[in-house]
Chains A and B, each alone.
Chain A
């Protein structure tokens, strides 16, 4: 019986890991929500990254996003500590970190990316070429 339980535990844990991994870097298209100038740069597409003090991968993602902003004059990068800005995190339903929002030059939130992803994922989200698995949210929310 011990062998069966241990094997089952390994299988369940592996499946959980695969499911979690598959959700990392998923781009969710959004529309109808806007965000104030405090959290973006006017006239530029803003990559807005939510972090927490407990988030190791946030430090991994940050230079990747900064690099995109450095290479493109039409893109800015900002990061926000979700703990220091809990109200904002609650309003935007930020549940884990890193969570990254792509905000258009006029302040509309265009996409949300959960977790770590390659730079191409963020660039595609900025360009609006969002993968087919994305979900479109249509609620009208002004942040």
Chain B
């Protein structure tokens, strides 16, 4: 994960909108794959591989370095007013990582001989991207604590993002 700095929250939502559209297209074109022999040249499979790669790009480089993030920063952000607030890129980057896990699972399961994995994985990823794009749903807000409670904090225990202003002592809890 990259160093947390403030980003325009409209950027990730722009990326989520494009992602949702592409995933919906992928669901549409990959439905016939569910009942067909495995074909690694099928459009639905190839698109899911590409989307998986884009998710990985965003997860490793940070959401602002993803293709949509770069496009937003170069062509859209300069035309907009300043945002009312900025947010840490950690949340949207976490969402990219979750998107990668879901889509790469579909890719690998397809290669393993489960043809329905492509449309199913695309559908799950679509739901998350659509909720983010249309409703501002924050995947990291909803599920990150579930991971943290199991000791998985993605190296962000003390990341320097909006922090505790007053620290309590655990022995007093």
> Which residues of A come within 8 Å of B, CB atoms?
1-2, 5-6, 9-10, 12-14, 16-18, 20-21, 36-39, 51-60, 62-63, 78-91, 94-98, 143
Cβ–Cβ contact B168 & A13, under 8 A:
no
Expressed in whole angstroms, the Cα–Cα distance for A57 and B164 within the complex equals 15
Residues of A within 8 A of B28 (CB): 2, 5-6
Expressed in whole angstroms, the Cα–Cα distance for A90 and B132 within the complex equals 26
With contacts A14-B134, A54-B140 taken as known, whether A88 is within 8 angstroms of B168 at the C-beta atoms is: yes
Expressed in whole angstroms, the Cα–Cα distance for A94 and B126 within the complex equals 27
Interface range on chain B (Cβ under 8 Å from partner): 35 or more
Residues of B within 8 A of A79 (CB): 162-165
Verify if B43 is at the interface (C-beta below 8 Å from A).
Answer: no
Cβ–Cβ contact A96 & B142, under 8 A:
yes
Can you sample 29 A-B contacts with CB below 8 Å? A2-B32, A5-B119, A9-B24, A12-B127, A17-B130, A20-B131, A20-B137, A36-B172, A38-B168, A39-B166, A54-B91, A54-B94, A54-B141, A55-B144, A56-B9, A56-B140, A57-B138, A60-B84, A60-B87, A78-B165, A83-B153, A84-B164, A85-B173, A86-B149, A94-B145, A96-B141, A96-B145, A97-B145, A98-B141
Cβ–Cβ contact B170 & A85, under 8 A:
yes
Contact with A along B17-50 (1 / 0, CB 8 A): 0000000100110011000000000000000000
Cβ–Cβ contact A9 & B126, under 8 A:
yes
Residues of B within 8 A of A80 (CB): 164, 166, 168
Expressed in whole angstroms, the Cα–Cα distance for A134 and B19 within the complex equals 37
With contacts A17-B131, A54-B144, A97-B141 taken as known, whether A39 is within 8 angstroms of B168 at the C-beta atoms is: yes
Cβ–Cβ contact A2 & B135, under 8 A:
no
Cβ–Cβ contact B134 & A85, under 8 A:
no
Expressed in whole angstroms, the Cα–Cα distance for A102 and B148 within the complex equals 24
Cβ–Cβ contact B173 & A9, under 8 A:
no
Residues of A within 8 A of B156 (CB): 53-54, 83
Cβ–Cβ contact B140 & A84, under 8 A:
no
Expressed in whole angstroms, the Cα–Cα distance for A81 and B166 within the complex equals 10
Expressed in whole angstroms, the Cα–Cα distance for A83 and B158 within the complex equals 9
Q: Which residue of B lies closest to A1 (CB)?
A: B31
With contacts A38-B168, A56-B87 taken as known, whether A2 is within 8 angstroms of B31 at the C-beta atoms is: yes
With contacts A5-B27, A81-B163, A95-B146 taken as known, whether A57 is within 8 angstroms of B168 at the C-beta atoms is: no
Q: Which residue of B lies closest to A36 (CB)?
A: B172
Cβ–Cβ contact B84 & A16, under 8 A:
no
Verify if B117 is at the interface (C-beta below 8 Å from A).
Answer: no
